[in-house]
Structure 1
Amino acid sequence: MSRDVVVVGSANVDLVVEVPRRPGGGETLLGGDLQRLPGGKGANQAAAAARCGADAGIVACVGHDADGAFLRDRLSAAGVDTSTMIGVDGATGTAIIFLTPDGENSIVVSPGANAALDIERAEQHAAAWTGSRVLVLSLEIPAATAFRVAARAAACGTRVVLNAAPATRIAPETLRLCDPLIVNEHEARAALGDDTTDAAGLAVEDYERLAGRLREAGACSVVITLGPAGAVVAGGGAETPTRVAAHRVPVIDTTGAGDAFVGAVACELARGVDLVEAVRFATAVSAVSVQRVGAQASYADRAEVEAFIAARAETPGATATPR
């Protein structure tokens, strides 16, 4: 069965604790109540795509444990087909998240079962991702798997969206498959092998040039998300790098907002929307998500996002596209 969007990626249980600030070395802090929420970049992206109206599925590995069952249930509830999730020996992936009052977070991921998503296991469900309109990949699974899947899917005519996170250098042969490559400011520089230590100090114009460099290196199209500066889009109908502004909203929790953005872009591309307009819609999806706690738990359905867009049509703001 051909689907709009298939994600080959990670699935984690998020253990979230609200803290007054990030702890220093050797320091113990008292935090709020522990929350157990569904997460993982791949699962988040699939859930966001489904919430936006896409017929979405996911290929991911989870353990034969309560956490794996929890993730299957939560994804099914979001409208994602979980029939291609793979049970493996070992623990389901886990992310430990410290959430500060400004809505920012610090995250430590224990990959667990996600590390078992090798090429052989991904190939078990090749019919799902080679037959989809849009394939979404990120790098919380083995990079060799992601890059192999991208190459085979592209050869079958599937549009490949690569969210190159965590940051890593991307070989030209993989860049050429990306339509788009979605990265934040640090990941954008890492994709080209640049030093990322001073990335936060660069201006929007620098990222417009960087988007151009990524296209010159082979990427079919590029989206760089820039926090308060919005996003830069190159290719996909935007041959000159185009800035898309974000929305001014109160931020409660940024966890998973970038994944909401990626899933929403994939949904819109599968519907035939051009890349700039897909990014505009995705910016609204992520703006809604940061006003709530959690990743998948914060994702709105399409009707709510469209109501948000309509309500702000006469007074657009510009801040905080998630990284």
Structure 2
Amino acid sequence: MSTRTPAVTVVGSINLDLIATAERLPTAGETIGGAALSEQPGGKGANQAAAAARLGGSARMIGAVGSDVQGQRMLDALAGAGVDTADVAVLPQPTGTALIVVDRDGENQIVVCPGANSHLALDRVEFGPDETVLCQLEVGLPVALKAARRSKGYFVLNAAPAMDLPAELLERCDLVIVNESEYALIPALAQAKLVAVTYGGDGSAMFEHGRKVAEAPSVSVAVANTVGAGDAFCAAVVLALRSGLDYTQALAVANAVGGDAVGDPSSQPDLAQLGYYVGRTAASADAR
């Protein structure tokens, strides 16, 4: 593994998360009382950038917030995590908001109101030839496609939320990251050059052109909130691969990071440096 954690540029969403923690998730048309409300910085893009920075990588965020109190709060949270926010646009539209219900087991239901995220433009954004770019689909497929076209270095797509992906985008991806539901909903991923798939409590696996080439078990943890866990996994697996770890090692490290994220109630949890997780997973493998 490289002694220096790589730089990552994240192109993606920035949201205020309004989280209601309830005993269970409501069914259609049902009202549930007794919930506790909290507000947190969130958005898949911001969560991934914050995780990358906390893991020790140099993280740059490309996104959009509103010129409102919430937008400034999101910028302050990113800067506090160590993320470069110089390329975050401040727009007239309201800051994106996610309405989230979390049950006692950490499972969730999410409705996203994109706000400023829907108006993100990359016209003035430059990507270096050696820059690792991580993108998701909460900012829309056209933005992801433009990022893929403009990026000349290692390009990663977290294909969430699931949708049909044009062949041009898939062919450009050096790595696609999805959960098991998204993998099932996007059949074209079976043709992708490299796909990391998460399976919750069953760990994760890596596929080359639809063939499983590596897997790693999950880490047993008490679940507090699953909202930011997948985003922490994304940042970790990208940094681990770019640091020179093989597929199995990278998955194990990302599973450990995701496990710590699941145990934290925040959407942008505090995390240790990447090297800590590398050492931890190596020690765990030796113990087995």
Q: TM-score, normalised by structure 2?
A: 0.90
Q: Structure 1 residue 307: deviation in Å?
A: 6.9
Write the distance in 2 (CA, Å) between the matches of 1:263 and 1:31. 34
Q: Does 1:188 align with 2:183?
A: yes
Q: Secondary structure at the match of 2:249?
A: helix
Q: Secondary structure at the match of 2:225?
A: coil
Q: Which of residues 231, 256, 270 is equivalent to 1:299?
A: 270
RMSD of the TM alignment (CA)? 2.2
Q: Structure 1 residue 78: deviation in Å?
A: 0.7
Write the distance in 1 (CA, Å) between the matches of 2:130 and 2:102. 35
Q: Secondary structure at the match of 1:60?
A: strand
Q: Which of residues 165, 173, 182 is equivalent to 1:170?
A: 165
Write the distance in 1 (CA, Å) between the matches of 2:160 and 2:212. 25
**In percent, how many aligned pairs have the same letter?**
39
Distance 1:123 1:270, change over 3 A: farther
Write the distance in 1 (CA, Å) between the matches of 2:130 and 2:66. 26
Q: Does 1:274 align with 2:246?
A: yes
Unaligned runs of at least 5 residues, structure 1: 194-213, 317-323
Q: Does 1:225 align with 2:225?
A: no
Look up the match of 1:30.
33
Distance 1:81 1:262, change over 3 A: same
Q: TM-score, normalised by structure 1?
A: 0.81
Look up the match of 2:236.
264
Q: Structure 1 residue 255: deviation in Å?
A: 1.1
Q: Secondary structure at the match of 1:21?
A: coil
Q: Structure 1 residue 7: deviation in Å?
A: 0.5
Look up the match of 1:50.
53
Look up the match of 1:320.
none
Residue identity in the other structure for 2:239: C
Distance 1:27 1:190, change over 3 A: closer
Asked if the contact 2:205–2:212 (Cα under 8 Å) also holds between the matched residues in 1, the reply is: no
Look up the match of 1:151.
149
Asked if the contact 1:12–1:92 (Cα under 8 Å) also holds between the matched residues in 2, the reply is: yes
Q: Does 1:137 align with 2:135?
A: yes
Write the distance in 2 (CA, Å) between the matches of 1:310 and 1:18. 35
Structure 1 segments of 4+ aligned residues over 6 angstroms from their partners = none
